[in-house]
Amino acid sequence: MNRLATAVFGLSLLAAGAACAQPGPGGPGRGLDADGDGVITAAEFEAASLQRFERNDANKDGVIDAAEIDAIKKRFEEREGGNGGPGGGPPAGFGARMLAQLAAQDTDKDGKISKDEALAASRAQFAKADSNQDGKLTGDEFRMGPPPQR
């Protein structure tokens, strides 16, 4: 459980990876826009989130556990220069945001993220980003991100 607390300093890679993507040919969101029509539907967003979950569930037991979260954290540390954040701590920047989002997905606080928890987070993230509530994310919605919270 302490490992999950450490992960709070980091990232979510299930839903957050999708949050930073942009639809369109050749853009970072190209993997989310499965049919290449320039928009990301709720189904495409959820399918990408499910693929990320399955990729990170290394032992294929249906949950992302503390050891798998540690592996995710390590990958982000390596991508961010190998030394994490200030003083060699947890990842900073994008990695930190992703780990924090990952930790937030553990809604029952059991130290693991189930597929249901990950998909619920993905659906909530999509709904937040879909500013006009039309069931699709356009490039503008991705660039703007979710509306500011008040």
Task: Please give, one letter per residue, the 3-state secondary structure of 11-57.
Answer: ECCCCHHHHCCCCCCCCHHHHCCCCCCCCEEHHHHHHHHHHHHHHHC
Q: In this structure, are residues 10 and 100 in contact, taking their beta carbons and an 8 Å threshold?
A: yes
Q: Supply the pLDDT for residue 71.
A: 92
Which of 5-14, 28-37, 73-82, 131-140 is the least confident region? Answer: 5-14
Contact predicate 14/121, CB 8 Å: yes
What is the torsional sign of CA 91, 92, 93, 96? positive
pLDDT digits (tens, 9 = 90+) for 23-66: 444 444 557 888 988 899 999 999 999 999 999 999 999 999 99
Between the alpha carbon of residue 115 and those of residues 4, 63, 110, 111, the distances in Å are 16, 6, 14, 13
Q: What is the mean pLDDT of the chain?
A: 75
User: Token match 């597929």: residue?
Assistant: 115
pLDDT at 132 over 90: yes
Neighbours of 78 (CB within 10 A): 13
pTM above 0.95, yes or no: no
Q: Which residue has the higher pLDDT, 78 or 64?
A: 64
